[in-house]
Amino acid sequence: MNFSSVLQGLVAFLWIAVVGMIILAVVRAARGYKVRTLSVAVLVTAILAVVLTTISAGLVFIQPEERGVVISAIAEDGYRREPLQPGLNWIIPYFESVVRYPISRQTYTMSIAPSEGQIQGDDSVAARTSDGQEIFLDASVIYAIDPAEVVKVHIDWQNRYTQELVRPISRGIIRDAVSQFRVEEVVSSKRFELQEFITERTKEMLAQNGLMMTDFVLRNIQFSQEYAASVEQKQIAEQQAQQARFVVEQRRQEADQAREVAKGQRDASITIAEGKAEARLIEADAEAKALLLVADALRDNSDLLTYTYITKIAPGVQVMLLPSDNQFLFPLPTLEPGSNLQSVLPTPMPTPVPTPEATP
């Protein structure tokens, strides 16, 4: 509570007291009582109330978040050129008055939502891009009155600066800025550039009229129903194309995998064939060496071939045929495995040696 408010309360109490004492004096006078003392009290209280009322009318307390514009009947231009600063200030009673202006931050919101902005209903900004697409923007302008320009704001706009300055300037700048970009740039790569352009331009325009813009917030961007449908179809087409590319890539990977498998099988077949060929060469080389050894053995012992032949046919032979000039047919005994062929062959009869005749 400031001193000016206390003084105004005291003044109000004194005037109530004056009225009460006047009523009391009239009642006592009507009953024949003396009211001289009461009349003096009424007069003194009334004079004190007038004095305090005059002082109260001249004392103005300005809050820290306010500035005061003094409207003066005795000033040359009808107002004081300097605004009243926070604290207790003095003005000429009955000849000057004060209009208070807030210097704290204020927000003006333009939104499609009916209950968000200062104006009920759809207050979003409709704008067209450079390629002719209509979009709707929700935005908020955060601003404040420049304390040094309060008098200028009062002269130019009074309390109409929100609806007649902030709103039309910001909406016009938004439309001008959007018209310099394509629709896909507004919502993607150039959105921050768009917001920066609007911020700088709005700040410049408001500063020329005594307001300071603190920030510009681009809250939301909406498209027309037709463009939103086309964007949705484009996204669906892109997703389908991406899916097709994925399928192609998958098929390519499967083909690469099949080629690698075939290559592996081919390499394995080649390796197996090479192994078999190498084994066959080794086997042939061994057979050749064995034949050389057999040839060497036959060369040194000619009967070895006959012995080998008899050894090979021995298990199945039941009868042995002798040369044609021999009249005997000998049965061949069954040979047991491991038996000696020499032991089963008949012992040849010794050839008789002719006895020499005695000489007569």
Q: How does pLDDT run across 274-301, given as a tens digit for each residue?
A: 888 888 888 888 878 777 777 777 677 7
| 3-state SS, residue 122 | coil
The token duo for 10 is 């005291």
Between CA 322 and CA 305 the distance in angstroms is 18
Pairing of strands 319-320, 211-223: unpaired
Q: Are 92 and 72 in contact (CB under 8 A)?
A: yes
Q: Are 9 and 16 in contact (CB under 8 A)?
A: no
Q: Give percent of the chain with pLDDT exceeding 90.
A: 28
Between CA 141 and CA 168 the distance in angstroms is 12
Q: Residue 59: what are its φ and ψ, rounded to 5°?
A: -95, 125
The rounded mean pLDDT for the chain is 80
Give me the mean pLDDT over the 215-231 stretch.
77
Helices (H), the chain: 3-30, 36-58, 150-156, 161, 167-178, 183-186, 191-207, 225-300, 304-313, 341-344
Pairing of strands 134-145, 106-110: antiparallel
What is the number of other CB atoms lying within 10 angstroms of the CB of residue 234? 10
Quote the DSSP letter at residue 84.
B
pLDDT tens digits along 162-199 = 999 999 999 999 999 999 988 888 877 788 889 999 99
In the numeric block, the tokens 């993607």 are attached to 188
The token duo for 2 is 């400031």
> Which pLDDT score, from 0 to 100, does residue 321 have?
53
pTM of the entire structure? 0.58
pLDDT tens digits along 70-92 = 999 888 888 999 999 999 899 99
| Local confidence band at 312 (pLDDT 50, 70, 90 cut-offs) | low
Between CA 87 and CA 220 the distance in angstroms is 42
Q: Are 134 and 127 in contact (CB under 8 A)?
A: yes
Q: Are 69 and 96 in contact (CB under 8 A)?
A: no
The set of long-range contacts for 113-120, using a CB threshold of 8 Å and a minimum separation of 24, is: 113/138, 118/162, 118/163
Question: Sign of the CA dihedral 150, 151, 156, 160?
Answer: positive
Between CA 345 and CA 239 the distance in angstroms is 98
